[in-house]
Homo-oligomer: A and B are copies of this chain.
Amino acid sequence: MANKEITIKDVAKLAECSPTTVSRVINNSDHPVSKETAEKVEAAIKKLNFSPNRIAQGLKSDRSNIIGVIVHDICDSYFAQMVKGIEEFISGHEYIVNIYNTSRSVEKELHAFNLLKANRADAIILAGGALMDKKYEQKMHSMINQLQNQNTLVLGITPHPFDIKNIILGNDRALEVITDKVIEYGHRKIAYIDGPEKLYTSYLRKKGFKKSLEKNDIAVDDNLIFKGDFSFNGGRKAALEIIKKINSITAVVAANDSTALGAMWELNHQAIKVPDQISVVGIDNLPEAKYSYPPLTTIEIPIYQLGTNIGEYLLNRLNENCNYQFKDIKIKLIMRNSLKRLK
């Protein structure tokens, strides 16, 4: 049944030359090949629909051409866009984009790393924020070590507490900027909806929020910090809590757009007017943030572009261009209607 695979040998036979010569043609080798034979080889390749077995090539060259991408949730626009950007760049250059969803589970993330290690991935992108968990960190240290010994490049998006190249997005800075804006608009009673616990990105974003408050001589009130999980539903739940304290709050800063969108939805649903009764702002500038009621004021983090930049960086590094520097992305304040100026 199983038709035998077409190999370089079959091509050689048809082109009446040696497998070595075929290999040279395939790889545009420096080694000279006569025009005549090259043409015969090309013809044979076409005739047989031959493509070299990348698995075998990989074994030889000690490269798998696999780029592992570990995300928390591919259904989250943030990650979907990043992956799209990475894929756009990477598969155009014959690499395999191998994705894993971890749902922020330590076990799943470790599982992904084990598979990627076994597959001798050329690079691994930790697309999500670092998990804050002692056991995880310990195991990861060892894992990163092994990976580096087998020449796997590991890249962290946002800071990770390992000895890897971390891409800094300025999450803390972004929160500071938007909170500054909220304050500039006259708000002083400002609630915050947090990100998931045990996620370093949450910590960073909250840090930026607090920094802005302190800078502006506003006391940080822990009663005005609400739980969230970066999700729409998390935002909805938080909104319900916020409503209970509605008289002591004029604005809500959410740890991300999904949360802000969920909060606004619930606020609307409970007949609280945004921004008339309460302002809401987010971070990320997801595509859908433009179409909420009201349109969301937020910080743009150009995630898709981040993805292509990651791809470009990886490609250069993987090809020994050690001097290539990562192209940083720029955040930008997007003013829409969910933030109201107070008199």
Residues on A close to B: CB < 8 A? 2-3, 5-6, 49, 51-56, 58-59, 62, 64-66, 73-75, 77, 80-81, 83-84, 87-88, 91-92, 94, 96-101, 111-112, 114-115, 117-120, 142, 146, 149-151, 232, 265, 287-288, 291, 293
Q: List 8 A-B contacts (CB under 8 A).
A: A2-B151, A5-B120, A52-B118, A55-B58, A74-B84, A91-B111, A94-B118, A96-B119
A115 touches B91 (CB 8 A): yes
- Are A84 and B91 in contact, CB atoms less than 8 angstroms apart? no
B residues near A149, Cβ cutoff 8 Å:
3, 6
What distance in Å separates the Cβ of A11 from its nearest Cβ neighbour in chain B? 14
Decide if B99 touches A99 in the complex (CB within 8 Å). yes
Identical copies of this chain, number:
2
Would you give the shortest CB distance from A119 to chain B, in whole angstroms?
Answer: 5
| Whole-angstrom distance between the Cβ of A222 and the nearest chain B Cβ | 30
Residues of B with C-beta under 8 A to A3: 149-151
Q: In chain B, what residue has the closest Cβ to A116?
A: B96
Please name all residues of chain B whose beta carbon is closer than 8 Å to the beta carbon of A99 when the two chains form the complex. Answer: 83, 87, 97, 99
Which of chain B's residues have a CB closer than 8 A to the CB of A92? 111
Q: Which of B52, B118, B151 contacts A51 (CB under 8 A)?
A: B118
- A65 vs B58: C-alpha distance when bound (angstroms): 14
Measured CA separation A114–B50 after assembly (Å): 11
Chain B residue, CB-CB nearest to A121: B96
Contact A59 B55 (CB under 8 A): yes
Residues of chain B contacted by A293 (CB below 8 angstroms): 293
| Bound form: Cα–Cα A149–B50 in Å | 12
